[in-house]
Amino acid sequence: MLRFPKRTGQKPLLPEPDMKDMADSTNLLETLLERATEYGKTSIELVKLKTLDKTTDIVSSLVPASVVILLLATFLLFLNLGLAFWLGQVLGKTFYGFFVVAAFYIFTSIIVHFFLRKWIKRIVGNFLVKRALNK
């Protein structure tokens, strides 16, 4: 059987809250909130820095590739001009050479568009994902 203490003259079940303990609890709670706020700010800053690092890494690896592609495109431009003029001489009229080169490129573009587009997209996507995930 449970017995409850009598109200007269007996000690209460729970001690009365001490004001000093309340002040310590308030300070502890304030310190905890400050640290949680600092942690949140630090976490956001860390995410920003990691994003900046990955973006910089990807862009810095794309710039040299862009330079190589630009140089290769310039080479191909002059090669195609030379080929078009040479074919024009062989065929008797200069513009025939340009028509033949243009026909080659439209044919190549159609093949790439219908048969190789997904393959190229997958390769470029995989490259970018690997660069973003690897450090």
In the predicted model, residues of the chain with pLDDT beneath 50 are none
Per-residue exposure over 60-93, b if at least 16 CB sit within 10 Å of its own CB, e if not: eeeeeeeeeeeeeeeeeeeebeebbeebbeeeee
pLDDT value of position 4: 54
Residues of the chain with pLDDT > 90, as a percent, come to: 51
Q: What is the pLDDT of residues 39-52, one digit of tens each?
A: 999 999 999 998 99
pLDDT value of position 134: 75
pLDDT value of position 72: 97
pLDDT value of position 16: 59
Q: What is the pLDDT of residues 82-101, one digit of tens each?
A: 999 999 999 999 999 999 99
